A and B are shown apart, each in its own frame.
Chain A
Amino acid sequence: MQTVKMVVTGPFSSGKTEFIGSVSEIDVVATERKITGAGEKEIKDATTVAMDFGRITVDEDLVLYLFGTPGQKRFDFMWEILSEGMLGFIVMIDSARPETFREARSILQTFRAYAPTPYVVAANKQDVDDAWELEDMRNALRLDPKVKLLPCVATDLKSVKDVLLELLYSILAEMETGG
């Protein structure tokens, strides 16, 4: 049995757990704990402290694992461990919380430093009124035009599939250009 993995990262409460939950064939093995910090508690009650874990069985010889990183900065020691051996990674960003964009950019750079693997950026919560437009987000995140910034709704299966497929297309393209 061969296994490969992808990592879903992003700031606190950006939708990583929902993203994995939408596409995983098993219930996401989430390691969530109640939040104690007052500011963070306003946003949600529980957060991932170690990792989320989802699975997609491709065929009898191949399984894809999806790992979600803990979003809170104080758990960032887990990031490098989770990124080991990943095919690529997805940076989730809450389109309606611009206060997290700077952190998202920093997470993106950190993961780029860990491994030279392909990645895409998913602009989550594009279905809410306060969501920033993709063009504004790209500018705010200073994303290179070549980087895929994809609209996403983490609770919507099709949307999640599209993001995963775009990442796979990027990996394929990278393999083809890199020989």
Chain B
Amino acid sequence: MALNGNLRDFTVTQLLNLVNLASKTGTLVIEGPNETAEVSFREGKLAYAMIGRENGSLASILHKGKKLSTSQYRSIQQRAGHVTDKELGLLLINAGYLSQEDILTTLQKSFMGVMRDLFTWVEGFFRFENNKLPPDDKISIRLDLENLIIEGSRQLREWEQLQEEIPSLEMALKFADRPGANLKNVNLSVEEWRVVSYITPKNKISQIAKATKMDDMEIRRIVYGLIQAGLVEITRPEGAKPKLAKDMFPTQDKVEQKSLINRLINRIGNI
């Protein structure tokens, strides 16, 4: 089945996360506005990455990684242009010029550089081609995605965490009713003070955001900080109806409630 879409809806970091969690093997093709990137994975680990028409040959990567001088690079291009990456790697190792580790580390740095560039892409279509791997003559690596995901997802994670902590801006805030919580002893920023000045169970967080001209991210960040500091608590807006779950059943009798659910199950099962 398809794994495709637009980067506007799925960030590169989220895609890496999917590949990682599902231990996927294949190639992620991202068609950006100017270039196309191909990133290959084997069992959820980064194997190969290349952007656009850049020279992704081993010689070029080793040159960029300062493992080959410019003259050596030119010489290889002229005399060994037909040699595959794997063959070149073996030649360099057998000649004692580079170790296997040197080559793999340089490739790893290069691929991570590609990924860092990709993190900045916000536009473009992506598709995941299952089981498609780089050509056999290319040297692939096995790099865990976790660090890359962490690096690329800091901002995304912050946003998502804030959404989880404060799922709805249609709730209100109240000052924590506990000893020791004293605003006078806390160093608040100007922005935090602006928010604090509007805190009352009558004001929804969304209304405070509007009054202070803050976007969702900013208001959530400040409210989250105040909650974590133990200064405020989320509460239902004053005048709102009580918890909805209490009236989910027409009866408060537990036995009748179970009977009701079982009747629903039987009825729907027999439709």
Contact = CB atoms under 8 A, between A and B. Distances in A.
B260 A84 contact: no
Given A87-B261, A115-B243, 12 more contacts: A4-B260, A56-B268, A80-B170, A99-B6, A101-B10, A109-B164, A113-B171, A115-B248, A116-B243, A116-B245, A175-B257, A175-B261
B271 A56 contact: yes
B163 A106 contact: yes
A42 interface: no
Interface string B1-35: 11111101110001001100110000000000000
Interface of B: 1-6, 8-10, 14, 17-18, 21-22, 160, 163-164, 167-168, 170-171, 241, 243-245, 247-251, 254, 257-258, 260-265, 267-269, 271
Contacts of A135: 22
Contacts of B264: 4, 58, 62, 64, 168
Given A83-B244, A85-B247, A87-B248, A169 B260 contact: no
A67 to B, nearest CB: 13
Interface of A: 2-4, 23, 56-59, 62, 64, 80, 83-88, 96, 98-102, 106, 109-110, 112-117, 129-133, 135-136, 139-140, 142, 157, 161, 164-165, 168-169, 171-172, 175, 179
A157 B269 CA distance: 11
Contacts of B3: 132-133, 136
A117 B243 CA distance: 11
A175 to B, nearest CB: 6
Nearest to B11: A102
Contact of A131 (B1, B8, B168, B249): B1
A113 B170 CA distance: 10
A88 B244 CA distance: 11
27 contacts: A4-B250, A4-B260, A23-B271, A57-B267, A58-B267, A64-B264, A85-B244, A85-B248, A86-B244, A99-B9, A101-B10, A109-B168, A113-B171, A114-B244, A115-B243, A130-B2, A131-B1, A132-B1, A132-B2, A139-B17, A140-B14, A140-B18, A142-B160, A168-B265, A169-B265, A172-B262, A175-B257
Contacts of B22: 135-136, 139
Given A129-B2, A130-B2, A131-B2, A59 B263 contact: yes
Given A98-B9, A106-B163, A139-B22, A117 B248 contact: yes
A109 B163 CA distance: 8
A133 B1 contact: yes
Given A101-B9, A165-B269, A84 B241 contact: yes
A86 B249 CA distance: 8
A161 B271 contact: yes
A123 to B, nearest CB: 11
